[in-house]
Amino acid sequence: MQNIRLFGTDGIRGVAGKDLTPEFSLKLGLSSGHVLMKDKKKVILGRDSRISGDMLSQALASGLMALGIDVHDAQVIPTPAISILTVKYAYDFGVVCSASHNPIEDNGFKFFDSNGFKISDEDEDLIELNLEMTNLIARSSGVSVGKKYDFSEAQNLYVDYLIENHPLNLENFSLVIDTAFGATSKVAPEVFRRLGAKVVVVHGEFDGNLINVNCGSTNPQKIQKLIVENKANVGFAYDGDGDRVIVVDEKGEVLNGDHLLAIIASNMINSSRLLKPTVVGTVLTNQGLEIIFNKLGVNLLRVDVGDRNIVQALKNQQLLLGGERSGHLVIMDKSVTGDGIITSLELLNALISSGTPLSKLKTLLNEYPQGEINHRTVKKHEILHNPKLQEHVEEINKELGIKGRIVIRASGTEPMIRVMVEAKENEVIKPIINRMMSKILEIEEE
């Protein structure tokens, strides 16, 4: 893996046992501990429910303990919980072994600094540099090596934090939730039930053979059906590590992250909580959201795809709310990273405040039609920077003018090129996508 940069837009990812081996994870523990360790010499470690999670996380823990760092093992827990608990209990840093919504054979590592933010590019670079020279990193010995502590209580502490920060009365709500056999399987139902909601759970066990497989945020079809059958108010579909959510209304219709931004921002305005009138989106944020924000007196600040880019903009400009269409939302006064359960609670708060069904609130946003296609290729960067492709994109954007746009980018987490076309008229989208794919394949074969 070390011929190219290891860290992508969301940590390190790869195929477990191939790209991410126990040997690599041990070195990563040594390197990350050397770079990120502070005075306390204690780290919180969590993982999602993937089969390889134990193997990889414990190998990394061994590297940390070899430096005299104590590892508090929170076991299977949502990624955002590690960010929150790192700050709350003053850890030097936090680590999560997860590949988020990726296939079951993948895994990865995400690192959070002592303030709960994903670590900086500079720290990532230093970790990569030190991976090449772990034999030079000084080790502890004898009784000075680090110890591992069972911190499974972290799940309950995270649940308590969510309830304390969102003391909602959900007695009139019926919810259907899909936890994707992942890290939210225990905590999400607990939160909603303790707040009074009636909860139907699907895919609600830890299962490393099934995490994200035809379920969760990328496949909400199951809860679309169950919502109607159970006459529920809302459905929430989480990904494997719980940092994003896709929402379904009472009619079984799906809401993406742009809908959530529109509804939550509007509620924040009504409650005088959005003190600075700017919300952060990405290059993929629907043009329709920009239009509704203009009507609300709110600016849309676009950044590159990736929740770390959103968080950086929120942090730099001291803003409150940002998010992606994928369901990654960040609400900075609750958590400094994407948290699917917090997003769900914020949406429920908006529903309570408005007294309006979600299907009606959804109409705040009149979306432009969008079409997307993904192409798997190991040449994603070479293709993306090819002058022929750039000329082709420029030509299409000129054709579309103010009636639409095209965005082509390399995935930050997978060997893939992603193409998105947005236009006022739906019928122009597919031909443009086909033209783009033809050009990509032509360049790939050169």
Average of per-residue pLDDT across 293-310: 94
Averaged pLDDT score across all residues of the chain: 95
Check whether 37 has a pLDDT greater than 60.
Answer: yes
Q: According to the annotation, is 239 in a ligand binding site?
A: yes
Domains with residue ranges and CATH for the chain = 7-154 (3.40.120.10), 165-364 (3.40.120.10), 370-444 (3.30.310.50)
* pLDDT for the residue numbered 3: 54
Confidence of residue 303 (pLDDT cuts 50, 70, 90): very high
Q: What is the pLDDT of residues 65-118, one digit of tens each?
A: 999 999 999 999 999 999 999 999 999 999 999 999 889 999 999 999 999 999
Q: According to the annotation, is 100 in a ligand binding site?
A: yes
pLDDT top residue among 412 and 442: 442
d(CA 391, CA 137): 48
Check whether 156 has a pLDDT greater than 90.
Answer: yes
Q: Which candidate in 57, 100, 335, 344 is catalytic?
A: 100
Q: What percent of the chain has pLDDT over 70?
A: 99
Q: According to the annotation, is 207 in a ligand binding site?
A: no
* pLDDT for the residue numbered 403: 84
* pLDDT for the residue numbered 101: 86
Q: What is the pLDDT of residues 399-413, one digit of tens each?
A: 888 788 999 998 877
d(CA 195, CA 212): 27
Lowest mean pLDDT among 5-9, 123-127, 313-317, 353-357: 5-9
* pLDDT for the residue numbered 300: 98
Check whether 222 has a pLDDT greater than 90.
Answer: yes
The answer to whether 83 is a known catalytic residue is no
d(CA 409, CA 282): 12
Confidence of residue 446 (pLDDT cuts 50, 70, 90): confident
Q: According to the annotation, is 160 in a ligand binding site?
A: no
Average of per-residue pLDDT across 361-368: 95
pTM of the model: 0.91
Confidence of residue 160 (pLDDT cuts 50, 70, 90): very high
Average of per-residue pLDDT across 363-391: 93
